[in-house]
Amino acid sequence: MHEMSLAAGVLQLVEETAVREGAQQVKLVVLEIGRLSSVEPEALRFCFAAVTHGTIAQDAALEIIDIPGAGTCLACGATVPMTEQWGECPACGGSFLQPNAGTEMRVREIEIE
Amino acid sequence: MCTVCGCGAGETKIEGEGHAHEHVHADGTVHSHAHGHDHDHHHAHGAAAAAAHEHSHHHADGTVHSHPHVHQGEHVHEHAHAHGIGGDLDFGAGPARAHAPGLSQSRMVQIEQDILAKNNTYADANRRAFDERGIFALNLVSSPGSGKTTLLVKTIELLRDKVAIAVVEGDQQTSNDAERIRATGVPALQINTGKGCHLDGHMVGHAIERLKPADGSLFLIENVGNLVCPAAFDLGEHHKVAILSVTEGEDKPLKYPDMFRAADVMLLNKCDLLPHLDFDADLAEANARRVNPDLTVFRVSATRGEGMSAWVDWITAGLVAQGARRAESVDALKARIAELERQLAAR
């Protein structure tokens, strides 16, 4: 996916909250990014630093909480780890996996002062 | 801005909403002026307990409209940390997990919001509006050139005598597609997204207000031709329908899995060309099902009409189910009113 604009989306949420809270500065931004969300965390870090330059979130630390992918095999019902949005069940070999974790793209919290 | 690919916003044009006129006077003077049409536009999103705020939009032509929003799930928790004299000193449990000396004014504010939360609020409102009126809404997505508009025209021709239909056409520029749809006799609204690469929930909310679809009607949204970004943007539709044509590659569902996962239906279009191509339709279908096992697939040829009856039957079934759901909710409301009246009478 296109992390530059995703970073801009994060900044929008952060700025709205910071203004509402009367903050002077944003010091930390905590995101939850699932491994199945098509987001490249390193690219996101780079872009976040770029888009926050000159804003209330300039120099804010970025903490990305990595959420592993997991899903349920529709054939055998096993809960299995997933590295892509689709794949084969390691237990029964079935190819129908329903992801139920790892698709998150959320702003969890920010630290302001 | 699109949070998926970074395409611009602010150049969206909905047909009839704000336009410039140029006048040429007899003496040769030319002057142009822009008209804006005020549009009152209220969204009620979510539970009343949620945080509400009002905001204004300033359009380029000076028109201002404001609308209150209630965002569900946008709960803000604050917990301030005091590290002063008299308070407990606990550096290990500091909110930033890495506290530096002297920075005691800081506090954590929980946001707990999806990066795409704004769009989803609009989409939920659209879906409620559809459900309340028994409208069946579909969002058609594909690469450019897969035959979406031709498919829409043929679908409309097969259904227009049975059900009221309204169409939203999304393209970066031109109103060519809306004109093609209007030629079939059904109302269509063109949304030009300008730099944007997808329709969003807010644009479709405006389109619903403008088109005023009839109760129990079919609402068709032709998204911008793009297999990436529209996957992430819920418009309030009941199903995304992905269209793959046989002149593309069989592995497209594997290359763009997000879209084929988000869709409930895949139409394999231009099947009349199969005898002339190396395209393996079974492989394309199998690839799509690897990504999304629940996918319903129809093989069609919009130009020749093959396979279209199964697709049209699927839409008809959706309309019937939507009508039944509405009747159920009306019945449930009537029962609730009767129960409340009974309780009042008993007092």
Digit-by-digit pLDDT tens for chain B (347 residues) are: 555 565 655 567 787 765 554 444 555 444 444 444 444 444 444 333 334 444 444 444 444 444 444 344 334 343 333 333 444 444 434 444 444 454 457 899 998 888 877 788 899 999 999 999 999 999 999 999 999 999 999 999 999 999 999 999 999 899 999 999 999 999 999 999 887 788 889 999 999 999 999 999 999 999 999 988 788 889 999 999 999 999 999 999 999 998 999 999 999 999 999 999 999 999 999 999 988 989 999 999 999 999 999 999 999 999 999 999 888 888 888 999 999 999 999 88
Q: Does residue B35 lie within any of the structural domains? A: no
Question: Would residue B5 count as lying in a domain?
Answer: no
Other CB atoms within 10 A of residue B155 CB: 24
Residues of chain A found within 8 Å of residue B83, distances taken between Cβ atoms = none
According to CATH, the topology of domain A3-68+102-112 is hypothetical protein PF0899 fold (3.30.2320)
Which residue segment(s) compose the domain that B127 sits in? 119-324
Total number of domains in chain B: 1
Whether B20 maps to a domain, the answer reads no
Q: Is the pLDDT of residue A108 over 90?
A: yes
Q: Residue B198 and residue B311: Cα distance in Å, rounded? A: 25
Helix axes B117-132, B201-211, angle to 10 degrees: 30
Residues of A in contact with B111 (CB under 8 A): 13-14, 17, 107-110
Q: Is the pLDDT of residue A34 over 90?
A: yes
pTM of the model: 0.72
B306 found inside a domain: yes
CATH of the domain at B174: 3.40.50.300
Residue B209 lies in a domain: yes
pLDDT value, residue B62 = 43
pLDDT for B11 equals 62
Interface pTM (ipTM) of the complex?
Answer: 0.83
In-domain check, residue B40: no
Distance from CA of A47 to the nearest CA of B (A): 12
Cα maximum dimension of chain B: 83
Q: pLDDT tens, A7-22?
A: 888 999 999 999 999 9
Given CB atoms, is A6 within the 8 Å cutoff of chain B? Answer: yes
Q: How far A100 CA sits from the closest chain B CA (Å)?
A: 13
Q: Is residue B174 part of a domain?
A: yes
What are the backbone dihedrals phi and psi of residue B88, each rounded to the nearest 5 degrees, phi first? Answer: -70, 145
Would an 8 Å CB–CB cutoff place A105 in contact with chain B? yes
CA distance B32 to B24: 9
Is position B109 within any domain?
A: no
